[in-house]
Amino acid sequence: MTPNTIYELAIQIDDAFFLIGLAILAIEIVEALIKRSFRGKTLLEMLASASTQIPYLLIEVTLMTGAYAAFYLLSYQVLPWSIPVNAWTIVLALILADLTYYWEHRTAHQVRLLWTQHAVHHSSRDMNIVTGVRFGPFEGVWALITHIPMALAGFAPELITGSAIVVLAYQTWLHTELIGKLGPLEYLLNTPSHHRVHHGRDAKYLDKNYAGILIIWDRMFGSFQKEEERPNYGLTTDFESQNPVRVWFSEIPALIRDLRAARGAREVWMRLFAPPGWRP
């Protein structure tokens, strides 16, 4: 397989998971209508989640175009080495991309500047397929940075990008309450049950289950929590707005206020790079 073929296959996998997500969403809506639990607020929440794709995609198209060009130059013009493309290195790239996502995701929860973007994904108090496309405008910047080591190692840019797309595509179906626990698969794969825990704002569920595809990373690095009682979703702060602009930039105003009130360079640094709950 050529690098371009791999990238095209990753796009097809992304499309397949998108169709799976649409099917789950249709069932979710029908079920809510039958139970008469589908309210106007639910629709507004879905629209707010979908609206985050507007700034996200505008930035992502520009960012990924530049990133691909940079990775291409690095791989084919600068580095004197490269990793050959074959079945083994494709599997290796996917595993490394999944491990990269785990640490990218975990760091986004622990560094406030990064959390201002990732908090958008967690700000909904609903758990449905549309929540899966709720992204901060600049989340792709941190994702790009974390994949630089794979480029430096010599992986083809198409393979890096394709692997990252597959890791994100897999997570489309995880944002639902429609699917219960999946038996033995729960030990190896990230599942809707595991990901519901990740979106929980209950104390026992906070900062758990960062996995993309393989839940083994959480088990290895001490961040695993099984789903017990149903989680309460959303942020620990009181955020319930369905205003798209407020959703896009929900954490930015508070960060700006704290930076303005900071006393000294150390506090500015801590406000930016300490965990979100840090106080002087």
Instruction: Report whether 268 contacts 256 (CB < 8 A).
Output: no
- At residue 262 the predicted structure's pLDDT band, cuts being 50, 70 and 90, is confident
pLDDT band of 244, cuts 50, 70, 90 = confident
From the centroid of its chain, how far is CA 57?
A: 14
Name the token pair of 248.
């896009």
Domains of the chain: which residue ranges? 3-273
Cα separation values, 119 from 73, 98, 137, 152, 280, Å: 33, 21, 11, 30, 22
For range 50-70, the mean pLDDT: 84
pLDDT tens by residue, 107-161: 999 999 999 999 999 999 889 999 999 999 999 889 989 999 999 999 999 899 9
Which tokens in the block code for residue 166? Answer: 């597959």
State the burial class of residue 260 (Cβ atoms within 10 Å of its Cβ: 0-12, 13-18, 19+): exposed
Is 118:139 a contact under the CB 8 Å cutoff? yes
Task: Answer yes or no: pTM beyond 0.95.
Answer: no
Band (28; pLDDT cuts 50, 70, 90) = confident
Q: How many angstroms separate the CA atoms of 107 and 132, rounded? A: 19
Across the range 21-50, mean pLDDT stands at: 80
The helix/strand/coil state of 233 is: strand
Residue 65 confidence (pLDDT) above 90: no
Residue 11's pLDDT band, with cuts at 50, 70 and 90, is confident
The per-residue pLDDT for 184 is 96
Q: Please provide the average confidence, as pLDDT, over all residues in the chain.
A: 90
